């Protein structure tokens, strides 16, 4: 009987940090590669606040992705922590996947990030995302620009939304993986708890259904998460924390309409994840200026 060592003699595995400026499509790309939604998305920048880990299993390899928050020149306490989280992931990775939005370039933030990438010895793969939104001559100019101005090990044009050239991107990354056994068992997709993902799905609904400063002033905590009826029902109580009393009325809406929409959308997403019925109860609480309060940031997991 072959030993575990023999089984993984030709196996490759490694950590891949997915980095980019806010709203480049990193989380959409991770969900596409995994074939499962573990990282929340919205059209608003800075939706991702934490490091999200996703595991991809290939016949002879395992890629462990770290989806990071968008990197930019932050100033306030929360955003400084968010950017620190992203930059620290670069140092921990065997490889860096730099995702760039070709349809809505942000030269200042992109060069800010590239300067940091140049300091690392790990292979860097550039994914030119959202190619479905631009013409081919424009794409060719962008490829030429990034090929000549900076060194990348591979440049792959993709569309995370459409699924274009995702297999080519994964194959390119796989070729740079170091040899080694898998880090996670074959059925693992993430190390996140269902409780954490449920809180993130509620926060995603807030991002999608509210405007102006509300999404950025919001944090979500799951206060209770219990299974009943032999797992056929999950009861969740969660709190949406905002910074000012004036924001409470906006998030609740007229006669509770906005909060009801947030709850309904969140419940459906959580039910798809858990594959069971969910009873979701939401509360709205004011935590004054929590984004500047280090104790509150710790309590909310930042």
- Catalogue the long-range contacts made by 192-200 (C-beta closer than 8 Å, 24 or more residues apart): 192/38, 192/52, 192/53, 194/225, 194/273, 194/274, 195/222, 195/225, 196/222, 196/301, 197/38, 197/273, 198/222, 198/225, 198/236, 198/238, 198/266, 198/270, 198/273, 199/238, 200/39, 200/40
Q: Are 25 and 48 in contact (CB under 8 A)?
A: no
Structural tokens at position 268? 């459906």
- Which H or E run contains 197? helix 194-209
Alpha carbons within 13 A on the beta-carbon side of 281: 8
Give the residues of the chain that fall short of pLDDT 70.
1-6, 44-49, 70-76, 79-80, 82-83, 85-86, 89
Structural tokens at position 233? 């029902």
Residues 6+ apart with CB under 8 A from 30: 18, 38, 39, 52, 54, 65, 67
Q: What architecture is the 4-175 domain classified under in CATH?
A: 3-Layer(aba) Sandwich (3.40)
Q: What architecture is the 194-299 domain classified under in CATH?
A: 2-Layer Sandwich (3.30)
This prediction's pTM: 0.80
Burial of 207 (0-12, 13-18, 19+ CB in 10 A): buried
pLDDT at site 79: 62
Q: What is the DSSP string of 97-141?
A: EEEEESSS--HHHHHHHHHHHTT--S-EEEEEE-GGGS-HHHHHH
pLDDT at site 294: 85
pLDDT at site 270: 94
What phi and psi, each to the nearest 5 degrees, are found at residue 105?
-65, 150
pLDDT tens per residue, range 135-144:
999 999 999 9
pLDDT tens per residue, range 140-191:
999 999 998 888 999 999 999 999 999 999 999 999 999 999 999 998 999 8
Structural tokens at position 71? 């990197």
- The structural domains of the chain, with segments of one domain joined by +, span 4-175, 194-299
- Which H or E run contains 154? strand 154-157
Q: Are 282 and 202 in contact (CB under 8 A)?
A: yes
Q: Give the span between the Cα atoms of 301 and 219, in whole angstroms.
A: 9
pLDDT at site 39: 85
Structural tokens at position 108? 């200042």
């Amino acid at each position: 009987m072959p030993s575990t060592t023999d089984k993984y003699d030709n196996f490759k595995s490694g950590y891949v940090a997915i980095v980019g400026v806010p709203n480049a499509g990193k989380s959409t790309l991770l969900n596409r590669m995994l074939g499962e939604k573990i990282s929340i998305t919205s059209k608003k920048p800075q939706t991702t606040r934490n490091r999200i880990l996703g595991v991809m299993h290939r016949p002879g390899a395992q890629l462990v992705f770290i989806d990071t928050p968008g990197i930019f020149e932050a100033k306030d306490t929360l955003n400084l922590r968010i950017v620190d989280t992203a930059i620290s992931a670069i140092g921990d990775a065997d490889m860096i996947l730099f995702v760039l939005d070709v349809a809505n370039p942000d030269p200042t933030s992109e060069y800010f990030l590239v300067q940091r990438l140049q300091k690392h010895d790990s292979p860097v793969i550039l994914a030119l995302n959202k190619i479905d939104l631009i013409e081919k001559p424009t794409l060719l100019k962008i490829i030429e620009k990034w090929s000549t101005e900076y060194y990348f090990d591979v440049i792959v044009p993709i569309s995370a939304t459409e699924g274009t050239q995702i297999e080519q991107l994964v194959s390119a990354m796989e070729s740079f993986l170091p040899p080694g056994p898998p880090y996670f068992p074959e059925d693992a997709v993430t190390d996140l708890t269902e409780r954490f993902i449920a809180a993130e799905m509620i926060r995603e609904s807030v991002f999608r259904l509210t405007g102006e400063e509300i999404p950025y002033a919001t944090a979500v905590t799951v206060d209770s998460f219990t299974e009943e009826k032999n797992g056929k029902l999950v009861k969740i109580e969660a709190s949406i924390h905002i910074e000012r009393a004036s924001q409470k009325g906006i998030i609740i809406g007229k006669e509770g309409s906005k909060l009801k929409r947030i709850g309904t959308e969140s419940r459906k997403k959580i039910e798809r994840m858990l594959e069971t019925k969910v009873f979701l109860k939401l509360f709205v609480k004011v935590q004054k200026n929590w984004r500047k309060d280090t104790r509150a940031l710790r309590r909310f997991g930042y």
